[in-house]
Structures are given as C-alpha cells and as structure tokens.
Amino acid sequence: MTPRRPTIGVFDSGFGGLTVLKVLLELIPGADYAYFGDTARLPYGSKSVETVARYALEATRHLEAHGAQMLVIACNTATALALDRIAAAAHVPVVGVIEPGAEAARAATRNQKIVVIGTEATVRSHAYRQALEARGLSTREKACPLLVPLVEEGWVEHPVTEQVARIYLGDAFADGFRDADTLVLGCTHYPLLKPLLHRVAPERVSIVDSAESTARSVAAHLQQLVPATGDAEERRVRPRLQFFATDSVEKFCRLGEQFLGRAIEDVQHVDLKE
C-alpha cells in the first residue's frame, strides 16, 4: 500500500540542488523530502566518470535507506555523466535535470536556436546539446566557471557578477547565435542569478530554469500519488525535511539558506568512506 506522503530524495554534489528542492516544496507540498549534499567531495566537474558514478551511487543508496521512493538527481554533472548508471542501480524512479530542461527549452523557443550556460564539466559532456539536438534544436553551449563561486560568495547582484555575466553572454549570443531566443540555465546555482541574467541577456530571450523544469517533471511523475496542487488537509501538514551533508553542517546551513530561501535545520553529517 502506497503511503499517503511519499518521500522524495534529492541528490547534489553541494548546494545548487536546493534550488530544485525549493520549487518541489512549492509544487508538491504533500510529500516529505530527504536532501543529500556531497559537500566534502565537490566539485564533481574535475572528477572522472567512474568517480562521479561511484559517488552518486553511494548517495543513492543512502537516500533509499532513508525511505526515498523517488530520486531527483539535481546535479548537472552527475546527470550528464552517470544518470544511466544511477537509474540502473536504483530501486525507485529517477529523474535528472537535463531532459526536463531540454523539453522546457523546446516548448519555449520560437526559432529553434538555444544557448545553454553551465559549468565546464556539464558543457564538456555535451549532454544538453545532445538532448536539444535530438529535439531538432540548434544549440550553443557556453561554460561559465566563475558564476558558481560568485553565487556561493553571495554576490548575486554584485557589479562584478553582472560584468562577468555580460562577458559570458556576449560570447554565447554571438555570430550565428545572435538571434537565439532561449537561454537554458544548465546549473542549479544559476536560478539565483535570474534577475541579473534577465537584465544582461538580449530582451527577446526566454530563460529556462532547469531547476524549475525538473521540479515540474517530478510533479508530473507523482501526480497519481500526490496531486501537484495538494488538498487543503495536505497543505496544512508541513513536509518533513531531512538534510544530509558530507562536510561541515554549519557551512551547509549557512550557505544552503540562500539557495532554499528558508532556514535549514535537521542536518546530519554523513561520513562516506572512499
């Protein structure tokens, strides 16, 4: 018998996946959540496919052991490099961030020309380009390695961040992609920069937030269990939130709050042995 309140497990290499959790809490208030941030071993972008897959599978087992009935891989690198491995090993449904983002871009574009910004590892994998080109869309990918540290510094409206973003987007929307009409945020840190990116991107451009797209995909998967709107009784019951971090609990609470938009409590330190 399916429990009335399913538990959704959310995995990321660090803090960015909390932007996915933030939207999930808005869309699916009738679920409980367990979030795993592998903060001791980030960033994943410099690691091999085998290492990323191993780390992701360890997190998967941990979340399943804590009752997760569905897994959201809220890490673009882990999705790009290891989603198939995770899905094969997991005992529950698995949703990554790339396919939902690509599908949202397909729905948003009018001229089938897409720009994707992300970390170096995500761009190097070409996972977004493959997903978008499979939908008949022309794609340019642009690595923006400075944006993540600027977000984690809290500089989401700082003039330095705006200047860096202008340089990156100037390169991305150049030459044959000057008229691209859709920008995909291929990193879950980037939703914090949406107001800034709206100012910096060409006026005609629609911004696709892969964190929001992923949460909507999860809501669609769970519609049979818990309607995305939720009934009045379910909304009165606050979701249970569990957080697991492999590094400093204090740092997770401090940095994580800016991504989740609320105070973070009940963080458990997890020591995953190499």
What positions carry a catalytic annotation? Answer: 75, 187
**Phi-psi category of residue 113: left, alpha or beta, with phi > 0 → left and psi -120 to 50 → alpha:** beta
The position carrying tokens 């994580």 is: 256
Task: Give the DSSP H/E element, type plus range, for residue 140.
Answer: strand 138-143
Q: Burial, 143: exposed, middle or buried (Cβ in 10 Å; 0-12, 13-18, 19+)?
A: buried
Sign of CA dihedral 198, 202, 208, 211: negative
Q: Compute the distance between CA of residue 74 and CA of residue 53 in angstroms, rounded to an integer.
A: 14
The position carrying tokens 């018998």 is: 1
Interior CA angle at 75 toward 208 and 149, to 5°? 85
Residues 6+ apart with CB under 8 A from 86: 53, 56, 57, 60, 71, 73, 78, 94
